[in-house]
Structure 1
């Protein structure tokens, strides 16, 4: 089933007596295919004596995708790339209501290992066995969605990300070439936050406008990961205004190599970029794309998961804004 998730996590008190979300957490349902058998990874937590998915509470300064990746790393020692979003679950805790957001995560080579503190045992098992072992009934909801995606051939995916560059110095105070307008101090901090958020999907390629504010936004991630970089003139504001069809062609080319990729461009080019992506998704997902100016805030990211079996169909859309101090 196509899915959309939002990056917003703020929760206001309810006036109707409903519980208020007081705890936010995130995790992943890790899966693999071994000897032609589909398996998922369960963890056993000695503190609670239960079987669950790797997950944990959000830390200050994190987004929920970052939390999910960090918790899997800390609890079972694996670096993961997030796949399709799975259902968010809720259950009561002493302080109110806990919300846990989940993603699918395919495991290819990494061998998990319990940290010996929060997790004392691991188990790869079939979805049927997992459904029997899971201690919290709500944990079966992401498992059911994972199975549904597998049956619909929509579980194996690769991420295509669209990034609006971080906050630049005002046009009104810049007298030199527009392409040389740099990031503001806030934008430099946002670029570091963009790096941390992008690590949840680890794009191997970066396609960016050559203008300084786009390159500077992506530089911390590129330096951290060694991702391959391609600068494309068609992604600049000026070239998009003259020839938007060339900008659209750049978006089409992102599907050619069938591998994780991030595109960084400017606000005026976003309507063209989003419209082109919309051609690759269902009407339901297309309706969830932003349609009003400014489309994305500085540094904000849209994450599309592309079906790896046809490399042309987008099966989920998410939108996240990096932590902004």
Structure 2
């Protein structure tokens, strides 16, 4: 009896890297993107900031306007109702990065395969850095796509026929970080080596409407529609607020000292160390924590690797929360507001009961009840040594959460 071949799934990750056009975004978003290498034969510097004219890679079709009267993502990209227009729509003020792969002669979003013992989020940041020469950090999650490996370079990918070897790609919104921020996070994130010219030989910056015409693959155009959907949620202003639960601590019954001095175990330390690789993907520049030892130990190595100090928040200890839950929430909310005002992505390390109490308040800030359900309502709320990335935007009624990502370390 013959045996059927096992389907092999290749995991990959990437993202849509965006930037504000010159003079269109906040000063804090203005970064020098220029890669001072020689231009290629087309006259476009590899990694340069000049936009190119859209290529002829287009299927000539766009989705019809939504029957609900609301703007569909494809309407927005193609200049339909409520989309790119001369009235100052935000999509007119941003540019997206697209790369050319000579092996397939295609234009696509920067992406690549996961290395052994690497998470998808880490691969996304690393691969985009390798293919564009720009250090980046993750934004809100966009979605994923799967297609047969045999259709890697095809214009139309049959995403429903996955009986053969399959490529599964996850995508994020991505923005560049400053050279100083990149230097500080290098020890925590690890090395990023520039892609060979045989892999990526050109990159261009285009408006979303131009990008839709330039992209070769139907799946990449689908991801662009999801990106536009996120932009319409306000995602260009989103910052990550990373809630970290401390690593596994010594058992209370066995510990001889005070609860405040109860440390993490060697296994907890391994998870905390591995979590550094994941936290670095979001580039937190403000590190805050309960002053109790197990929380400080969880962020200590990341603090040392990045040279960023830890700020202790007395209101977030277990005892302080038990005495005054309202004060703990006021402390956390003030950290979110401070992050938005200063544009400083933040990581905050807390204890299980405190996290549970904070989740009750944070659900009320979520853009939808469905999103709020990702903040689990029962103990233990989240595993030890893990994080939750909450993407927050400012709003007329205060901060609003538009995306939540679970962040689990890979311990091997």
Same fold by TM-score, threshold 0.5 exceeded? yes
Give the Cα–Cα distance (whole angstroms) in 2 for the partners of residues 31 and 309 of structure 1.
22
Q: Of 281, 289, 297, which aligns to 2:383?
A: 297
Aligned partner of residue 349 in structure 2, secondary structure: strand
**Unpaired segments ≥5 residues, structure 1:** 1-18
Is the strand fraction higher in 1 or 2?
1
Provide the residue aligned with 1:223 in structure 2. Answer: 304
Q: Of 329, 335, 339, which aligns to 1:248?
A: 329
Q: Deviations over 1:115-171 (max 9, x none)?
A: 424211101112122212222211112211111222343332111110000112222
Contact 1:153 1:309 in 2 (8 A): no
Q: Of 271, 286, 309, which aligns to 2:372?
A: 286
Residues 191 and 83 (structure 1 numbering): CA distance in 2 closer, same or farther, change over 3 Å?
same
Q: Of 401, 406, 409, which aligns to 1:314?
A: 401
Residues 228 and 115 (structure 1 numbering): CA distance in 2 closer, same or farther, change over 3 Å?
farther
Give the Cα–Cα distance (whole angstroms) in 1 for the partners of residues 128 and 330 of structure 2.
37
**Unpaired segments ≥5 residues, structure 2:** 1-5, 25-92, 151-163, 180-193
Aligned partner of residue 199 in structure 1, secondary structure: helix
- Spell out the pairing of 1:119-138 with structure 2 (5 A cutoff): 119-138=200-219
2:181 corresponds to 1:100: no
Residues 48 and 188 (structure 1 numbering): CA distance in 2 closer, same or farther, change over 3 Å?
same
**C-alpha displacement of 1:228:** 3.9
Higher relative contact order (CA 8 A, sep 6+): 1
Q: Of 239, 264, 270, which aligns to 2:355?
A: 270
Aligned partner of residue 142 in structure 1, secondary structure: helix
Give the Cα–Cα distance (whole angstroms) in 2 for the partners of residues 273 and 151 of structure 1.
28
For structure 1, which segment, 156-165 or 243-252, has the greater mean C-alpha deviation from structure 2 after superposition?
A: 243-252
Provide the residue aligned with 2:18 in structure 1. Answer: 31
Give the Cα–Cα distance (whole angstroms) in 1 for the partners of residues 395 and 325 of structure 2.
30
Provide the residue aligned with 1:12 in structure 2. Answer: none
Provide the residue aligned with 1:69 in structure 2. Answer: 125
Give the Cα–Cα distance (whole angstroms) in 2 for the partners of residues 59 and 168 of structure 1.
30
CA RMSD of aligned residues (A): 2.2
Q: Which has the larger radius of gyration?
A: 2
